[in-house]
Amino acid sequence: MLRDPIAVASGLFILAIVVVAAFAPFLAPYPPDAGSILTGNEGVSAAHWLGTDSFGRDLLSRLIYGARLSLLGPALIIAISTVVGTTLAIAAAWFGGWFDQVVSRIADILFAFPGLIFAMIAVAMFGTGLVAPVIALSISYTPYLMRVVRSAAIRQRALPYVSACYVEGLPGWRICLRHLLPNVAAILLVQATLSFGYALVDLAAVSYLGLGVQPPTAEWGLMVSEGQSAILAGHPQESLAAGMMIILTVVAFNLFGERLAARQAVED
Amino acid sequence: MTLRLLASRLAALAVTLLAASIVIYGALYLAPGDPATLLAGGHATPAVLAAIARQEHLNQPFFVRYWDWLTGVLHGNLGESFLYREQVTSLIAGRVLNTVFLVAYASVVIIVGGVALGLVAALRRRAGVAITVGTSIGMAMPSFVAAIILITIFAVNLKWLPVFGAGTGFTGRLSHLTLPAIALALSWLAFTAQLTRAAVREELGREHVQTAHSRGIRERRVVWRHVVRNAMIPISTVSGLTVAGLIAGDVVIEQAFSINGLGSFLVQSVLDKDFASVQAVALILVAAFVIVNGIVDFWSLLLDPRLRARTV
């Protein structure tokens, strides 16, 4: 992995952006909501490296603070859907029978809802903010993770070492936790990494539509939409800068996930 | 054989649609607060709430209410928006055409553009590298970011094409919806191009293609008759699925370009807490998504006899 320049570059980019998000107050030159309309829509200068938005807030600082929610949201979505999806998948592979049937049918129904539509129904029910879209998207990402892990776990379950453990008298939950889970972990990691990019785009789209976190919060999707009215006046910097951060982050996660998958294919 | 397959697929489709409609209708009861208040949109006097509860038979059990709603929907009655005091059907009537036009336009852009780019990338080595790099970036580009880039270029600098609204008539729509269709299509187009390239490359290495070459058949004929024809199977399946994906992307693009369609109406209804409209539009979009997916699924079975043998 360390000899793969694409994997190293994308991995370093992901690491850098996580560090920036974590240490935002120390790295950002200004607080995210400091500014005056009098200095709105300024261009690039020594004081404001990326210029200011229409409220005169420093764009670089808002991008840095925006990294926090923009990454936290998809991280929560992937964490929840991975834990729930893996648990259900391994249980379905282990028990088989009606449990597997029921879980698979529920997954089929969830596949009928595009994630964004599901998130919008949730916002209509529970109101705007981070919580409703994150929970809705977690639910709609769960079947994707589940499907991949389930088929891997079913393949593992058929291998002789599982029967060997069973004959030794190990309890089922222990075989699942200590033997099945570690053996599907690599596939799980690839799927979670690739899904992160999609989750980031979906959640940013929810914010862009005005249904996620609300102004004056700094968040990339919201910044794209807040900057849109200034485009016609010839100040596209806010929308473009925030959009660029979304693209770069998604590209980094996709490339890293693809390299992980490629390495795994070689190992198999 | 094919008929039996069609019947089983249709049954599965109907079950999925039914389950999805229960989820959408049940959202009204799962949401915090009382259903009448949700339908009223938040601000209503007790008298109005009582009237809504009476009109919608909210005192009836859930499945009775659901059944009424579902039979209404199947008869083209999508319920009443209490915010506008109007039937949802008439609220969306003027918007459906814009949405259908946009999604169809984007589908054509994806299929024509994606397959053409992928073919060039597979057959011409030099162009291939550039196209592969370009499509990798394109695939990671969210539609709304593509939208603001296009708006920046065309609204401020080039001014060739309109960037707001849907236009009227066929030619009006064609010019107004060109940029939205491109923004909506972009990431799927990139995806289709990469898929086409991979499929064509795989076919090029097949034995029957090498045999055709060794028999001295002209290059052009080999490509069209033996390579493209086989590569079309995975391409048509996946590009069909991307068309289904457009239905969610459409919501974002309509908002970005201020297009008066179903998607922007859904966003507005969510913000207004106009629950009846949210349910109606969500049901239409989910049903369209499920049906397109079902058609693509069946189409790929028809196209590839090997798949058929496995599933029956």
Residue B1 has what pLDDT?
A: 61
Is some CB atom of chain B closer than 8 A to the CB atom of A243? yes
Residues B215 and B66 in one domain: no
Instruction: Give, rounded to a whole angstrom, the gap between the first and last alpha carbons of chain A.
Output: 15
B134 in a structural domain = yes
B168 in a structural domain = yes
φ/ψ of B86, rounded to 5, equals: -145, 155
Beta-carbon count within 10 A of B228 CB: 19
| Contact status, residue B120 vs residue B196, Cβ threshold 8 Å | no
B69 in a structural domain = yes
Residue A172 Cα, gap to closest chain B Cα (Å): 32
Range of the domain at B254: 94-311
Residues B160 and B11 in one domain: no
Q: How far apart are CA A65 and CA A20, in angstroms?
A: 8
Contacts of B273 in chain A (CB under 8 A): 124
Q: How confident is the model at residue A222 (pLDDT cuts 50, 70, 90)?
A: very high
Q: How far apart are CA B177 and CA B164, in angstroms?
A: 9
B81 in a structural domain = no
Contacts of B25 in chain A (CB under 8 A): none
In this structure, what token pair is assigned to residue A106? 């529920």
Averaged pLDDT, A110-119: 90
**Chain-centre distance of CA A123, in angstroms?**
19
Residues B225 and B115 in one domain: yes
Residue B193 sits in a domain whose CATH number is 1.10.3720.10
Is some CB atom of chain A closer than 8 A to the CB atom of B289? yes
Is some CB atom of chain A closer than 8 A to the CB atom of B181? no
Residues B127 and B155 in one domain: yes
Q: At what angle do helices A181-208 and A237-267 cross, to 10 degrees?
A: 160
Q: What is the pLDDT of residues A9-34, one digit of tens each?
A: 999 999 999 999 999 999 999 988 88
Q: How far apart are CA A212 and CA A195, in angstroms?
A: 20
Residues B189 and B243 in one domain: yes
In this structure, what token pair is assigned to residue B157? 């600098």
Residues B127 and B255 in one domain: yes
pLDDT of residue B312 exceeding 50, the answer is no
Task: Among B24, B46, B74, identify where a domain stops.
Answer: B74
Residues B47 and B159 in one domain: no
B86 in a structural domain = no
pTM of the prediction? 0.90
pLDDT of residue A117 exceeding 60, the answer is yes
B80 in a structural domain = no
Q: What is the pLDDT of residues B246-261, one digit of tens each?
A: 888 999 999 999 999 9
Task: Among B44, B74, B104, identify where a domain stops.
Answer: B74
Number of domains composing chain B: 2
- CA-nearest of B137, B239, B139, B138 to B196 is B239
Q: What is the pLDDT of residues B86-130, one digit of tens each?
A: 888 888 988 999 999 999 999 999 989 998 998 888 888 777 778
Residues B62 and B121 in one domain: no
Contacts of A120 in chain B (CB under 8 A): 251, 266-267, 270, 278, 282
- For chain A, list the domains and their CATH numbers: 65-267 (1.10.3720.10)
The position carrying tokens 């990139």 is B190
CB within 8 Å: A201 and B275 = no
Residue ranges of alpha helices (H) inside chain A are 5-22, 24-27, 59-95, 97-111, 115-126, 131-157, 160-167, 172-175, 181-208, 220-226, 228-231, 237-267
Task: Among B74, B104, B124, identify where a domain stops.
Answer: B74
Instruction: Give every CB contact of residue B206 below 8 A, 6+ residues apart in sequence.
Output: B230
Question: Which of A109, A116, A125 shows the shortest C-beta gap to B251?
Answer: A116
Residue A221 has what pLDDT?
A: 95
Residues B111 and B55 in one domain: no
CB within 8 Å: A120 and B32 = no
Contacts of B19 in chain A (CB under 8 A): 109, 112
In this structure, what token pair is assigned to residue B77? 């009655």
CB within 8 Å: B140 and A197 = yes
CB within 8 Å: A239 and B251 = no
Interface of A with B in 57-116 (CB under 8 A): 108-109, 112-116
Q: What is the pLDDT of residues B174-184, one digit of tens each?
A: 888 999 999 99
The overall average pLDDT reported for chain A is 91
CA-atom Rg of chain B in angstroms:
24
Is some CB atom of chain A closer than 8 A to the CB atom of B209? no
φ/ψ of A216, rounded to 5, equals: -90, 20
Q: How confident is the model at residue B309 (pLDDT cuts 50, 70, 90)?
A: low
Residues B215 and B147 in one domain: yes
Residues B108 and B172 in one domain: yes
Is some CB atom of chain B closer than 8 A to the CB atom of A201? yes
Asked whether the CA dihedral A50, A54, A58, A60 is positive or negative, the reply is negative
Residues B262 and B146 in one domain: yes
ipTM of the complex model: 0.89
B29 in a structural domain = yes
B19 in a structural domain = yes
Averaged pLDDT, B156-171: 76
Is some CB atom of chain A closer than 8 A to the CB atom of B148? yes
